[in-house]
Amino acid sequence: MRILVVDDVPDNIRVLSRILTDDGHDISAATNGRQALKLATTCSPDLILLDVMMPDMDGYEVCKRLKAEPKLGSIPVIFITALTDVEDETHGLDLGAVDYISKPFKEAIVRARVRTQLKLKSQYDTLEKMSILDGLTGIPNRRAFDERLDQDWRRSLRSGEPLAMVMIDIDHFKLYNDTYGHLAGDDCLRRVAETLTNGLYRVGDFVGRFGGEEFVCLLSGINTNGLSVVSERLRASIEALQRPHGASSTCPWVTVSVGAAICRPTQEMTPSDLSEAADLQLYTAKQRGRNQVSLTQL
């Protein structure tokens, strides 16, 4: 794991780096607060060992700024300092630090405290990952989609690039479950999720399970023609699986209906405008006979 060591005394950095490198960790180092904030952004450490008494910007201010940044706030911070008053330690913990090591530090204490916090961080990361993945299909869930839509919408607002959404629904899925059983239905959902994921070629494209038998994709920086091609490719890839669906009135195989919408976000619009447009197109595709794509440009 990567650890960022911040101390204005180079000798302290060298000693801590040796201890932590011996334990197999990668080390980044900063000698002042501003450098520490910059490195935290670029090297994405799993843990920060932070001196309190530094010129210009002390460790308390560094910790405060770290915790105010969404992408940095979850990084655990251990203060290493000569300040030993209860008030100093309490202040550091109130700012969001997870532990406090007093100088002169002992090697065994540093190793133990770091090991504990890295273990807790690993457990936290595992739980966080599980909370945004669908337990059945292993792809992002509705919560992950909501977060991603918000991010992509704000990014498109800044860049002026188009943003597209594709809603995908398995045709006659209730009949499939009734005919083949829920275990087969679960396997069908997993296969569809895998096929849709493999059908998105661009880095950054998103596919998730929206709920039930419905899936959703987000594609940034794509034009209407490209969206049409991708939507049709996704539809055709599911039909090409030739997974039998004897109860379907649409096709002897499992198929999907696809609704797609694209827009250039403006301040007057909201993400729900795009969602509602894609959902309406999905309804249109179903009304027209299913196993087809319906697309609109806002």
Q: What's the confidence (pLDDT) of residue 32?
A: 93
Do 125 and 262 reside in the same domain of the chain?
no
User: Out of 147, 213, 239, 268, which one is annotated catalytic?
Assistant: 213
Q: What's the confidence (pLDDT) of residue 81?
A: 83
Asked if residue 41 belongs to a domain, the reply is: yes
Place of tokens 């770290």: 66
Do 79 and 207 reside in the same domain of the chain?
no
Q: What's the confidence (pLDDT) of residue 103?
A: 86
Q: pLDDT class for 262, splitting at 50, 70, 90?
A: very high
Q: pLDDT class for 174, splitting at 50, 70, 90?
A: very high
Kindly report the pTM of this predicted structure. Answer: 0.69
Asked if residue 136 belongs to a domain, the reply is: no
Do 94 and 218 reside in the same domain of the chain?
no
Do 174 and 211 reside in the same domain of the chain?
yes
What six digits make up the tokens of 175?
């009949």
Residue 88, pLDDT > 80, answer no
**Average pLDDT over all residues of the chain:** 93
Q: Is 214 a catalytic residue?
A: no
d(CA 3, CA 37): 13
Residue 26, pLDDT > 90, answer yes
Starting at the edge strand found earlier in the chain, the sheet holding 26-30 runs: 26-30, 2-6, 47-51, 77-81, 99-102
Q: What's the confidence (pLDDT) of residue 245?
A: 97
Kindly report the CATH number assigned to the domain that includes residue 103: 3.40.50.2300
Percent of the chain with pLDDT over 90: 81
Do 147 and 60 reside in the same domain of the chain?
no
Q: Which residue range is the domain that position 86 belongs to?
A: 2-129
Domain total in the chain: 2
d(CA 93, CA 90): 5
Q: What are phi and psi of 203, to 5 degrees?
A: -65, 130
